[in-house]
Amino acid sequence: MAQEYTTSSIHAHNDYVHPIPFLTAYYSQVGSIEADVFLRNGELYVAHEEKEITTDHTLDKLYLKPLAEKIAFHNGAVYAKAKTLNLLIDLKTEGIPTLQSLVRKLKKYPAITGCQSLTITISGSVPVPDQWKLFPDYIHFDGRPTVAYTTEQLRRISIISDDFKKYTSWNGKGTLTAPDLKKITAVIDNVHSLGKRIRFWATPDLVNAWITLQKLNVDYIGTDHVTALASFIEKEPHDVFQNTVSHAVHKPVVAAESVQVKNVILLIGDGMGLTQLYAGYTANQGKLNLFTIPTIGLSVTASADSYITDSAAGATAMATGQKTSNRAIGVDASGKILTPITDILHQYNYKTAVISCGDITDATPAAFYGHVIDREFNEKIAADFLTSPVDILLGGGVTHFTTRKDGSNLFPALQQKGYTVSNNLQSLDSIRSDKYIVLDNAAARSMKQGRGNFLSASLQKALSTFTDKKSQFFIMAEGAQIDYGGHANNMEYVVREMLDFDEAIGKAMAYVDAHPETLLIITADHETGGLTLLDGDLQKGYVHGNFSTQDHTAVMVPVFAYGSGAKDFAGVYQNTAIFDKIIKALRINQTSAPRN
Ligand SMILES: [Zn+2]
């Protein structure tokens, strides 16, 4: 995208047909407003067709008076901020007399004719260029790309316009044909070579067309949907991301399906829907570890009390195999405690780990050890860890353990239970025991804030701990902040977190290839942001999306399974089935395990 687009790039076409002429466009801070005028009985009326003229729709009333007020209000400037405005007056009646009438009228508005940030451009029945010198210097003209102007005439031209239909019959959907693209690009480059701005009228007026016109580098995008285009352009900086660092992906080794599963790695991308995946794939220049995994299923995420789940109910479903209500963690809708898979597997001598690049007492990790009716009870969740058999806990949220409202610090009690505890990530590498808790808020920074490779490193640490101890294990690691990016409607945030999560997936896949008795499952608890992808470039690693909500959505989420037992994860099923499928893969006979 050659130039930065702001609302100053908007041309409010046929502005006067809007319920509130002038002001709607003005308050959207557009760069150009068009008014069609007819000279009748010495008065200038604003209308699209002569038959639509009404006595109160004069240029004076609809444009000149409110404009003069705004200029007076902003001490001579057209906008508060250093923005410019082009008032394009399209002469619908004979050029010379209509323009002469306009000049007479403008004599009453010195604030307008003297305003440096306002340009008055004449279009439509423009007098021939030789006659332009007859008019005051503040009158500019709308040129045509096919006309050869003198230098003096060029000086009076503020914009060059043409009919888009002359170049293409494209309806704004899909892409321009190559010949049309070539023609249009040529005329734009030609006008830019004259140092002039260009706009086309009769352009398709929809999102895909706006994106295409931006990529063509036009200077003004004409629209009848001013507020929609303004919000589209204002959101754009958050909707686009140009990635600069792509990561290589792991080359998967086909795992032996028949090996009895002994270890399970469950990676949860919080808020990771299919579009988040494809945005990551695009930004990583057409490659993702995740896309090299052949077995895919779809998980239905609705909770016990809501069409759209939250992370609490979503994670509880996967951790316990039971649906519960939103906000509830490790309990059912009535508050009855549900046994998480970590507790069940502990009874079968599995080592377990819970890792998150967010607050470790947040909903998703908490579902693997906590039991609260409301996810906001972070300190209660932290205290629940005292009775959990989980061996390794890594992430942020240390204050819920060490600097609690009740004045207590849980670390000494956890040390009593045999844990090595630390609030400093740097200590992770030096830990030699197989029971440790490292909680450091550095783990909960975003990738943009410099979290670094915490997720991959902590996953590999837990893997090497359990492997060195020859323990069969279950590890849940959460890519927590894809969700944060979705809630923030910020594409860069989503993509950076998605790519970090994918790097951890690559590490897990490499582990599975070296340890075929390991089953790797990658899924999400829900999609966040209602993300759609509007544009992208796989070569450049550029992606442009659109968020339809700041919250979760109901769409199914993907489940990727790799390694022995993976094939069981194909198909469409409830999120609770992920628990059942893991239990089945490990051949755990739950009836033997007491469930309180
Ligand atoms: Zn969320």
With 0-12 CB in 10 A as exposed, 13-18 as middle and 19+ as buried, what is 427? middle
Q: What is the mean pLDDT of residues 94-99?
A: 97
Checking if the pLDDT of 443 tops 50, the result is yes
Checking if the pLDDT of 580 tops 50, the result is yes
Checking if the pLDDT of 416 tops 70, the result is yes
CA of 525 to the centre of ligand 1 (A): 9
CA of 388 to the centre of ligand 1 (A): 25
CA of 399 to the centre of ligand 1 (A): 21
- The per-residue pLDDT for 595 is 45
CA of 490 to the centre of ligand 1 (A): 14
- The per-residue pLDDT for 473 is 98
* 524-557 pLDDT, tens digit each: 999 999 999 999 999 999 999 999 999 999 999 9
Checking if the pLDDT of 325 tops 80, the result is yes
- The per-residue pLDDT for 255 is 59
* 495-522 pLDDT, tens digit each: 999 999 999 999 999 999 999 999 999 9
Own/partner pairs, 48-57, CB within 8 angstroms, 24+ separation? 48/14, 48/16, 48/17, 50/92, 57/16
Q: Which of the four pLDDT bands, split at 50, 70 and 90, describes residue 105?
A: very high
CA of 488 to the centre of ligand 1 (A): 10
- The per-residue pLDDT for 596 is 46
- The per-residue pLDDT for 572 is 98
CA of 494 to the centre of ligand 1 (A): 12
What type of residue is 332? D
CA of 354 to the centre of ligand 1 (A): 19
Q: Which of the four pLDDT bands, split at 50, 70 and 90, describes residue 590?
A: low
- The per-residue pLDDT for 257 is 61
CA of 524 to the centre of ligand 1 (A): 11
Q: What value, to the nearest 5°, has the Cα angle with vertex 6 and ends 1 and 124?
A: 95
Element (H, E) at 265: strand 263-269
Checking if the pLDDT of 591 tops 70, the result is no
The Cα–Cα gap between 374 and 241 comes to 35
* 200-238 pLDDT, tens digit each: 999 999 999 999 999 999 999 999 999 999 999 999 999
Q: What is the mean pLDDT of residues 421-448?
A: 97
* 281-299 pLDDT, tens digit each: 999 999 999 999 999 999 9
- Quick one: tokens of 569? 């994860």
From residue 589, give the alpha-carbon distance in Å to each of 318, 468, 584, 596: 18, 27, 8, 16
Checking if the pLDDT of 1 tops 70, the result is no
CA of 270 to the centre of ligand 1 (A): 7
CA of 484 to the centre of ligand 1 (A): 7
Averaged confidence pLDDT in the chain: 96
CA of 234 to the centre of ligand 1 (A): 24
Enter the DSSP assignment of 595: -
Q: Which of the four pLDDT bands, split at 50, 70 and 90, describes residue 256?
A: low
- List Cβ neighbours of 382 (8 Å cut-off, separation of 6 or more): 361, 397, 400, 401, 404, 410
pTM of the model: 0.92
CA of 187 to the centre of ligand 1 (A): 47
CA of 500 to the centre of ligand 1 (A): 18
Residues whose CB is under 5 A from ligand 1 (ion)? 483
* 130-168 pLDDT, tens digit each: 999 999 999 999 999 999 999 999 999 999 999 999 999
- The per-residue pLDDT for 258 is 73
- The per-residue pLDDT for 463 is 98
- The per-residue pLDDT for 15 is 79
